[in-house]
Amino acid sequence: MALSALLNVMVKAASKAGRNLARDFGEVENLQVSRKGPADFVSAADRRAEDIIRTELEHARPGYSFLMEESGATAGEDPQHRWIVDPLDGTTNFLHGIPDFCISIALESQGKIRAGLIYNPVRDELFTAERGGGAFMNNRRIRVANRMHLADCVIGTGIPHLGRGDHGLFLKELAKSMPALAGVRRSGAAALDLAYVAAGRFDGFWERDLKPWDMAAGILLIREAGGFVSDMEGRDDMLNSGHIVAGNESIHRQLQVLLKV
Ligand code: IPD
Ligand code: CA
Ligand code: CA
Ligand code: CA
């Protein structure tokens, strides 16, 4: 399937930044690692990838606004269009030599996510979606899994790292969900987890306290793959609340009930 002009712009930015990340991967001693919080790492790789993506997107669509993890919000002349970017989702994995990380780019247009891209440069897996146009991995159509029983399901989640989130609440959710599910996975890259739900690899996902750049592209991918996404209470408020539950229609509903504490 031929990519639209918009997705082409996003793919070009992600490919360029991805080549850079692949080059930096394994070079931790040269990456000027620092902490933004107790276990909230950032490195030259995050910053370089972000700069590349910003330059590419700015060149292709001058005036659009930005929300990026490392440089924050920048208002452009066009406030109706905003790029929401995580230049390296899974920094901790990246710095530990674990090849589960990705780039996430979404375009929000008049408050609605119009396009999303998630790219794992190590596996060369590219997940793309445009509003109303379906979801794809490496240009092949993807759909959410169709399992209906939690006992058959592998569900992804995120464990709040040191200094972040409520570990007690997470353990309560885990205690409730583990006996009901076939398996629980924690990959360390929320955007990639959401792409895996869209691709039917994970049957569902939940996590609390995420940021818009972790979720924006993944939300569109899952919806365009036929899935359902909300916060813990079923509201379409993920980008504000930071909480997210996803799956096919049935698993999305069952997970919300299961996770009620
Ligand atoms: C983190 C990852 C992780 C999630 C954290 C995020 P980063 O993003 O997505 O899976 O549990 O909450 O902050 O910092 O590696 O881009
Ligand atoms: Ca980070
Ligand atoms: Ca992230
Ligand atoms: Ca990041």
In this structure, are 84 and 162 located in the same domain? Answer: no
* pLDDT given at position 160: 87
Tens of pLDDT along 85-103? 999 999 999 999 999 999 9
Which protein residue's CA is at the shortest distance from atom 4 of ligand 1?
190
Q: 102: CA distance to ligand 4 center in Å? A: 9
For residues 120 and 133, the answer to whether their CB atoms sit within 8 Å is no
In DSSP terms, which residues pair with 245 in a beta bridge?
206, 230
In this structure, are 117 and 154 located in the same domain? Answer: no
* pLDDT given at position 1: 64
In this structure, are 98 and 213 located in the same domain? Answer: no
Q: How far apart (Å, rounded) are the C-alpha atoms in residues 81 and 7?
A: 15
For residues 123 and 99, the answer to whether their CB atoms sit within 8 Å is yes
Q: What ligand 1 atom has the least distance to the C-alpha of 89?
A: 16
Helix ranges (H only) for the chain are 5-24, 44-60, 91-95, 167-177, 190-198, 212-224, 238-241, 249-259
In this structure, are 128 and 179 located in the same domain? Answer: no
The CATH number of whichever domain residue 169 belongs to comes to 3.40.190.80
User: Reduced to 3 states, what is the DSSP secondary structure of residue 206?
Assistant: strand
In this structure, are 119 and 230 located in the same domain? Answer: no
Q: How far apart (Å, rounded) are the C-alpha atoms in residues 261 and 166?
A: 13
In this structure, are 170 and 224 located in the same domain? Answer: yes
Spans in the chain with pLDDT lower than 70: 1, 261
User: Reduced to 3 states, what is the DSSP secondary structure of residue 212?
Assistant: helix
pTM of the full structure: 0.97
Kindly provide the ipTM of the predicted complex, given to two decimals: 0.98
In this structure, are 12 and 43 located in the same domain? Answer: yes
Tokens at 118, concatenated: 């998630």
- One-letter amino acid of 41: F
The CATH number of whichever domain residue 29 belongs to comes to 3.30.540.10
In this structure, are 156 and 131 located in the same domain? Answer: no
* pLDDT given at position 163: 80
Backbone angles phi, psi at 54, to 5 degrees: -60, -45
* pLDDT given at position 176: 95
Of 86, 106, 141, the last residue of a domain is 141
The domain in which residue 50 lies consists of: 5-141
In this structure, are 105 and 154 located in the same domain? Answer: no
Q: Is the CB of 188 under 6 A from ligand 1?
A: yes
Q: What ligand 1 atom has the least distance to the C-alpha of 214?
A: 9
Q: Is the CB of 10 under 6 A from ligand 1?
A: no
Q: How far apart (Å, rounded) are the C-alpha atoms in residues 141 and 171?
A: 36
Backbone angles phi, psi at 197, to 5 degrees: -65, -45
Of 141, 174, 193, the last residue of a domain is 141
Q: Report the DSSP pairing between strands 204-207 and 154-157.
A: parallel
In this structure, are 125 and 159 located in the same domain? Answer: no
Q: What is the count of structural domains for the chain? A: 2
Kindly state the helix (H) or strand (E) to which residue 118 belongs, with its residue range.
strand 112-120
